[in-house]
Amino acid sequence: MGTDGWASPAGNGKTCPGGLRNDFPCDRGHGKFIVVGMSKVNIAQKFSQVHDYWKPHIAAELNGQELKLSKLKGEFVFHHHDHEDELFLVVKGRFRMEFRDRHEWIEEGEFIVVPQGVEHKPVADEECWLLLFEPAGTLNTGNVVNERTIKELERV
Ligand code: NI
């Protein structure tokens, strides 16, 4: 992300190095770009665009990391990530992070970092709004691929 705050809208995960104007095509072959980085973002407004549980949406990207928003309700699946640490911050509600030998309640305004390799399973008895921060491309189900796996994330 340059100081002009240009980034791709189409989900290809690349930022444009040219400071081009909104909706103008990048002359370096990066496609069309929109401003995302230099405008403030209202988290609740972004969450209003998330309608499905357990479906992370990308809200921002920086330095090879992605900020994702997800609504949780119910149980996820035990999994781990071979190469990524994950940060989970509760914006609204609460959830329980289950590990193989214990669990931890994460309350509104709290976060937890799960290191790579550690098996974890989020569980939310009531709807919970979660902010995730992790390397771009981190798969939601980690080493497990099943019907809960979402490979192509939408943006909000
Ligand atoms: Ni995970």
pLDDT tens digits along 68-82: 999 999 999 999 999
pLDDT of the residue at 39: 82
In angstroms, what is the span from residue 1 Cα to ligand 1's centroid? 26
Mean pLDDT of 115-136: 98
Q: Which fold has domain 43-135?
A: Jelly Rolls (2.60.120)
Q: How far is the CA of 108 from the centre of ligand 1 (A)?
A: 19
Nearest partner of 8 among 73, 58, 51, judged by Cα: 58
How far does residue 17's CA lie from ligand 1's centre (Å)?
A: 31
Query: Is residue 2 very low, low, confident or very high in pLDDT (cuts 50, 70, 90)?
Result: very low
Domain with CATH 2.60.120.10 in the chain: 43-135
76 touches 148 (CB < 8 A) = yes
Stretch (H or E) spanning 115: none
Residue 86 confidence (pLDDT) above 70: yes
Amino acid at 21: R
pLDDT at 32: 55
pLDDT of 6 above 50: no
pTM: 0.77
Q: Is the pLDDT of residue 102 over 80?
A: yes
- For residue 125, name the pLDDT band (cuts at 50, 70, 90): very high
CA atoms within 13 A on the CB side of 84: 22
Residue 77 C-alpha to ligand 1 middle, in angstroms? 9
Ligand 1 center from residue 116 Cα (angstroms): 9
pLDDT at 23 over 60: no
Query: Locate tokens 């909104």: which residue?
Result: 22
pLDDT, tens digit (0-9, with 9 covering 90-100), for 27-61: 555 555 554 557 889 999 999 999 999 999 999 99
Rg (alpha carbons) of the chain, rounded to whole number: 17
Q: 61 has which bridge partners?
A: 66
